[in-house]
Structure 1
């Protein structure tokens, strides 16, 4: 297979705080349904922050066989369910074995937090009862590669697989690696990212980063690019996508193609005090070059939207330098879900593909006052109808990770 084989998306599965499933998530974004509320998994009254983007209507036994429940963390359960939905959406199942062998299909996922909830429960048993009470599944349920492994086992996907970790940027990196894997000869790669860490230990770990908002109103706590921005709200969930070689997808009779992963790049910020510029602008420019597009070809940007003034200002500057002031519509729909860590980029990419499908840009809910110095055409108040052929998705992880993906609409 050619190293320049086109990589298309044929299936989407989303598990988000404001919607389970592709269409429920998309409808929630367009309707401005907020998935952020007071955390309910434990008593957070003594914490400096009490808000989270929780998935509240997911009943594991309704989505997974009982044998998997004792061996999976919350994040893995979301990943397995989203993988099921994505495969079904793409029309991949036992009846496709004649055209897609198990070694033709791989898995590349990202998680930044691992199985926090599972590990906390087992550590509590260790400390309070003794090692003989610790689950044997603790040996892998906490691990960053477990989502890749469990999905691969459940669906018999034995092709090239991987797991990546790059905090908020990791989900887009997984998609970029999946594209590379397809170009290397693997016909189909299931990819994306999912995270969850809403037990007391996991929530404390997130607060320790110093970037979580302490605002108590769910509608005002996370305001990307707003003059009142004071931090973000952590969320859980993410998205799983089915990426395929375009020719192979057509040959097997894929029901739909949402779009093409046309460009991808990752960069890393220089050390603080080096005097060198941040790497986000370079990531944008390299991703456009990889897609063989120029800035004017991009119709919408799904921004990282950190919700912190310094980080928002830096992202706005990178966008302004590439596209010009108010040069392209920008949105950050994650204001309705919180930042999903490794799941955030794939969830945004799923939204971008649906935006291309329906020719509408979801708005940045709750943000109302964008500093003029940012020079952003931020989509506010309500979704915006637009002619959309190409979208840029951005994600930044702590300590300097930058990732950019360009998706384009399927050929007519």
Structure 2
């Protein structure tokens, strides 16, 4: 029989809050957590707003040696992983190292650490970089550091497909479980907030430069003008069902189907991705999950906030679901877009929605743009089938979709 993969731990460190409960309160209340960038002075940049993890103290999640060697992006991963393990009721260090693995998504790496070191190289008298520059900047740094710290020595890896990676990492976790690894840490965090990282994003021409932070990130809206960057994300404990049941673990939901495609075409400044390939990824996920169009309670879209991309995404969803798509909801305007961390955060939102028996109203749009006509959820609603579809696209043609089935709602005496 094919092994089944379930989520037993959720760890959130995001602009919406530290911990799954804080994130859910933000989503449910529709509270916007984007604001002026404080990690550096953005005064000379057209984009000066982002989603930051306020009140984050990395010393509570890693020791001084680890913090010196790593970037804030990895510090966020240390925190999210510890929260996920605690939520799952698993120890910090595995009693069976080769039965635990780490598979996270990554894209831009250790930006703040690299910024500091390169400024020292080119602007300081020493003309040197620190010993940990190559380690902290490296895109696989978080996976390596977590594997070492927690002694998770199973088949570890890193997925690099920009925002799509947050879903690809979970699909890879399911494959690892089906190949015999009972526990996999998956998901992703991001910190793209440094002068260098912001400059790279500005070069793509997709960032919002709106002066009003309340209106700066409005996907599918007539006022859509681009996205706001964000840090943070979510990490999950993905576990083989029998392993989870044997230890009496609380199950948040099951990962039942996924699909990934690539546009296989040049990405230029006026392109918006291929809706046909995006739709194919969604269909693959639904087919593998054995789920029909009418079974889906909620779609959490990529929601880039760039008009041509939003129209292409709406086209892909209508291609799959016809003229009666399932309810659509996005919380990204509340937090900003954390690339692979944002896709993982959408998975956390879906699981928490089923846990709390509430589909959250969408944070956007206010006025639906032409070509973006979908069934946006305007108020909270009870789920029917406890099935969610999470979609994500990565720059340069990556398309991913994930279908999950939520567990029964929590009892009143259960926290989170």
| TM-score of the pair, normalised by structure 1 | 0.94
2:167 & 2:140 partners in 1: Cα distance?
A: 16
Residue number among 68, 71, 81 corresponding to 1:70 in the alignment: 68
Give 1:112-151 correspondences, 5 Å limit.
Answer: 112-129=107-124, 133-151=128-146
SS at match of 1:336: helix
Query: 1:393 aligns to what SS in structure 2?
Result: strand
1:220 equivalent in structure 2: 215
- Of 365-374 and 50-59, more deviation after overlay is shown by 365-374
Distance 1:94 1:16, change over 3 A: closer
Question: Distance in 1 between the 2:183 and 2:274 partners?
Answer: 39
Aligned pairs for 1:132-211 (under 5 A) are 133-211=128-206
1:249 and 1:348 map into 2 onto residues whose CA distance is 23
Residues 246-268 of structure 1 deviation map (CA, whole Å, 9 limit, x = unaligned): 011111221x1000000011101
Q: Is the 8 A contact 2:329 2:377 kept in 1?
A: yes
Residue 269 of structure 1 pairs with residue 263 of structure 2: yes
SS at match of 1:178: helix
* Residues 335-354 of structure 1 mapped to structure 2, 5 A cutoff: 335-354=333-352
Q: SS at 2:143's partner residue?
A: helix
1:8 to 6, 10, 18: 6
Where do residues 33-44 of structure 1 align in structure 2 (5 Å cutoff)? 33-44=31-42
Matching residue of 1:107: 102
Matches of 2:29 and 2:407 in 1, distance apart?
26
1:46 aligns with 2:40: no
Q: Once the 2 structures are TM-superposed, how far is the Cα of residue 217 of structure 1 from its aligned partner?
A: 1.1
Q: In 1, distance between residues paired with 2:197 and 2:89?
A: 36
Paired residues in the alignment total 405
Determine the C-alpha separation between the residues in 2 that align with 1:132 and 1:196: 26
| Residue 380 of structure 2 is aligned to residue 386 of structure 1 | no
Assess, with a 3 A threshold, how the Cα gap between structure 1 residues 132 and 176 changes in structure 2: closer, same or farther: same
Report what 2:401 is aligned to. Answer: 404
Who is 2:414 aligned against?
none
Stretch deviating more after TM superposition (56-65 or 83-92): 56-65
Q: Is the CA contact (8 Å cut-off) linking 1:291 and 1:406 kept in structure 2?
A: yes
Given the alignment, which residue of 322, 325, 329 partners 2:323?
325
State which of 350, 360, 363 in structure 2 corresponds to 1:365: 363
Please name the residue that 1:231 is paired with: 226
SS at match of 1:355: helix
Q: Residue 385 of structure 1: CA displacement? A: 3.2
- Runs of 4+ in structure 1 deviating by more than 6 angstroms, as ranges, are 273-276
Q: SS of the counterpart of 1:257?
A: coil
SS of structure 1 residue aligned to 2:13? strand
* Correspondent of 1:334 among 299, 309, 332: 332
- Relative to 1, partners in 2 of residues 1:79 and 1:95: Cα closer, same or farther, differing over 3 Å? closer
Which piece of structure 1 moves more, 150-159 or 272-281?
272-281
- Compute the RMSD of aligned alpha carbons: 2.0
Superposition pairs of residues 86-101 of structure 1, within 5 angstroms: 86-93=84-91, 97=95, 101=96
Please give the alpha-carbon distance, in whole angstroms, between the structure 2 residues aligned to 1:130 and 1:72.
24
Name the residue aligned to 2:413.
Answer: none
Deviation sequence 1:257-304 (CA, Å, 0-9, x none): 000000011101142599986311000100001111111111100011
How far off is 1:96 after superposition? 6.7
Residue aligned with 1:263, SS: strand
Residue by residue over 1:17-67, the C-alpha shift from the partner in whole angstroms, topping out at 9 and shown as x without a partner, is 121111101111111111110111222121111111111210112332122
Aligned with residue 238 of structure 2, among 206, 222, 243: 243
- The answer as to whether partners of 2:275 and 2:313 remain within 8 angstroms in 1 is no
- Structure 2 counterpart SS, 1:168: coil
Q: Note if contact 1:270-1:278 (Cα within 8 Å) is conserved in structure 2.
A: no
What SS is found at the alignment partner of 2:114? helix
Instruction: Give the TM-score taking structure 2 as reference length.
Output: 0.93
Shift of 1:131: 5.9
CA 276–138 in structure 1, closer or farther in 2 if over 3 Å, else same = closer
Give, in whole Å, the separation in 2 of the partners of 1:394 and 1:82: 22
